[in-house]
Structure 1
Amino acid sequence: MKIARIEIEGTARVGVVDGDAVQPLAVDLDELLASDARDELAARTADGSPRPLSAVRLLAPVAPPTLRDYITFEEHLEGSLKLLGRTAPPPEWYDQPVFYFSNPNAVVGPDDPVAVPPGCERLDFELELAAVIGKPGKDLTPEQAGEHIAGYTLFNDWSARDLMPPVIPVGLGPVKGKDFANTLGPWIVTADELAGHRRDDRLALEMHAEVNGVALPGGGDTSANMSWSFEEIVAYASRGAELRTGDVLASGTCGAGCLLEHWAHLGDAAPPPLRPGDVVTLVVEGIGSVSNPVVAGVEPVALPKARVGMPRRARPWGRTLEG
């Protein structure tokens, strides 16, 4: 099943995509994602006749309560670190699947414009696959986690590369470098529909990206190269924390799935950073494609530097509680 969110006469609706048509449903998206009988629920809640996809606007297929973005492709990590003069990932990366929380309020859908963030001169995209949670769960094993994945969608983790280096040394993440846009789409393909694409314990979907209709040089990648499976990253995310219906967990960028890696290996001019007028398209086997045009943004509002030399209160550092 392909589950979409569509806009009809200004109202967001849930629909099931079949070929070039979409069947609107009278059901809540969370109810459909969490259901153990989606086909029956969709049939029972069909609302009117199917509509041509061309006659509706596709929205982001889910408005996630939380959005975790992992870094599970070793090749991408190696390419990213090369720009920092490092030759290998840190040993800690191999111990557990790490992630950061992205901004769910910055989610955009298919064909939505993405504005260059204020102050950015090196705009980039990231080709990723993402799992969408169906049934809630906590402290799951990888064997249990698969039952909690409703399906999969494409994810573009837009990145302002030049806004990240000044703040990463503080240790709180990429800050405004990742705060402005996250594309999800075009729809959610349920896990059962992708069962034939599994290799051993994980999905094996071919992935590639295009800029202005031209595929990035060097070819794409396959999701089979994830160093942890989706079941494993879902289990890790649920450790001590409840996953809820609609939560999104992204794979991280696949090998050669962004401009940054090409800059690391080929130099800054090949290919150039994104500019207004460019169109980025992500393509993943078994799911489809999602495109977004880049448009001009606004200038940043200037802020002062931190105040320093402020009076500090006396602290009892060095004294014991008894003293």
Structure 2
Amino acid sequence: MKLGSLKEGGRDGSLVVVSRDLSRAVPATGIAATLQRALEDWGNAAPRLNALYASLNAGDADGVFDLDFNALAAPLPRAYEFVDGSAYLPHVERVRRARGAEVPESFYTDPLMYQATSAGFLGPRDPVRVVSEDYGIDLEAEIVVVTDDVPMAVTPEQAAGHIQLVGLVNDVSLRNLIPAELAKGFGFLQSKPRSALSPVFVTPDELGDAWRGNKLHLPLVTHINGEWFGAPEAGVDMQFDFAQLVAHAAKTRLLSAGAIVGSGTIANEDTAKGASCFAEKRTVETLETGKPVTPFMSFGDLVRIEMLDRDGNSIFGAIEQRIERQAPPA
């Protein structure tokens, strides 16, 4: 099934079930007021939501309305936890090679992960507002999964059973702020503003055979200002699958229902498939020519991130955002 949230009913939105073709929706507030509430009672809520989804697609649900993506908040407008990995090692290897650094052996056996911003997510049509272009504005096209309650110290095999939803994220990065922050040895903060989530999240069964081995085996397509930027295969070159990432995050703590776990920037060994972030594209240029050529994003640029099924249908809807200047508070 496909689930989204309208920009109404408070900070956590109002839960809706969305049709398979993303054209229609029906309120689900009689089952759960918000997606967060549904995830906290997933064993009871999921069968009822799935029945409503079947009724909607069959054309006999009550209260159906045409879906307007501009009216959608992020499916989880805020979450208790967002942890983001870096599971695509071709990206890590290239970035390090471009600056003459070796990849530590541990990176091949132990996932990279950091605690990301979760207090608020941008909706799929909300602008990305940044104070200055000098910050080095970048997108990161990624896949995320959402869990129910995950016990501490689960194995990857156990963690797989706690993955309930799959979606996309534009994990916005301010690249020129990152080096100074990492040099402090304490991780990202100012360089990681709020991210945007896809219009809907879907249950893994909705993905058919594209979801296997706890990976999503489809290209993730990015356009900048209407021009193709990249379509790397998400199921290829992923060193750690989502079950391994969830288990890594839960090694020493439980994860609350609604926890979001990200894949990191999608990247392939085959650079002809393009990039999912400007940092990747600039790194490839550096390795090929000795210096980056493509600048980071500017105010007015339009980002579009989408994944299509084998028949060319949008699965999650598109994240489509314009980069805008944020004026300082008066």
TM range (shorter): 0.7 to 0.9
Render the CA deviation track for 1:105-131: whole Å, top value 9, x for unaligned.
242111111112457342111110001
Render the CA deviation track for 1:168-224: whole Å, top value 9, x for unaligned.
11111133111x22111211111221242134453312112111121116x423234
Residue correspondence of structure 1 range 170-249 to structure 2 within 5 A: 170-178=184-192, 180-200=193-213, 202-216=215-229, 219-249=231-261
Conserved? CA contact 1:206–1:221, under 8 Å: yes
- Please, which moves more after superposition, 128-137 or 199-208? 199-208
Residue correspondence of structure 1 range 89-168 to structure 2 within 5 A: 89-118=103-132, 120-168=134-182
Where 2:161 maps in the other structure, the secondary structure is helix
> For 1:263, which of 265, 282, 289 is the aligned residue?
282
Where 2:134 maps in the other structure, the secondary structure is coil
Conserved? CA contact 1:2–1:16, under 8 Å: yes
> For 2:48, which of 37, 40, 50 is the aligned residue?
40
Pair 1:216–1:162, CA change in 2 (3 A): same
TM (norm. structure 2) is: 0.82
Pair 1:265–1:224, CA change in 2 (3 A): closer
Which residue is equivalent to 1:65?
80
Conserved? CA contact 2:233–2:266, under 8 Å: yes
Conserved? CA contact 1:134–1:245, under 8 Å: yes
Q: By how many angstroms is 1:300 displaced?
A: 11
Conserved? CA contact 1:137–1:148, under 8 Å: no
The count of corresponding residues between Structure 1 and Structure 2 is: 298
Q: By how many angstroms is 1:55 displaced?
A: 7.8
Q: Please say if 1:293 is aligned against 2:322.
A: yes
More strand by share: 1
Where 1:172 maps in the other structure, the secondary structure is coil
Fraction of identical pairs, as percent: 27
Conserved? CA contact 1:61–1:188, under 8 Å: yes
For 2:109 and 2:150, the matched residues in 1 are separated by 26
Aligned-partner residue type, residue 118 of structure 2: P
Q: By how many angstroms is 1:93 displaced?
A: 1.0
For 1:106 and 1:55, the matched residues in 2 are separated by 18
Q: Please say if 1:21 is aligned against 2:24.
A: yes
TM (norm. structure 1) is: 0.83
Aligned-pair Cα RMSD in Å: 2.7
Which residue is equivalent to 2:296?
273
Conserved? CA contact 2:5–2:72, under 8 Å: yes
Aligned-partner residue type, residue 266 of structure 1: E
Gaps of 5+ in 2: 268-274, 309-314
Structure with higher Rg: it is 1
> For 1:30, which of 15, 28, 36 is the aligned residue?
36
Conserved? CA contact 2:133–2:298, under 8 Å: no
Which residue is equivalent to 1:6?
6
Conserved? CA contact 1:204–1:224, under 8 Å: yes
Which residue is equivalent to 1:84?
99
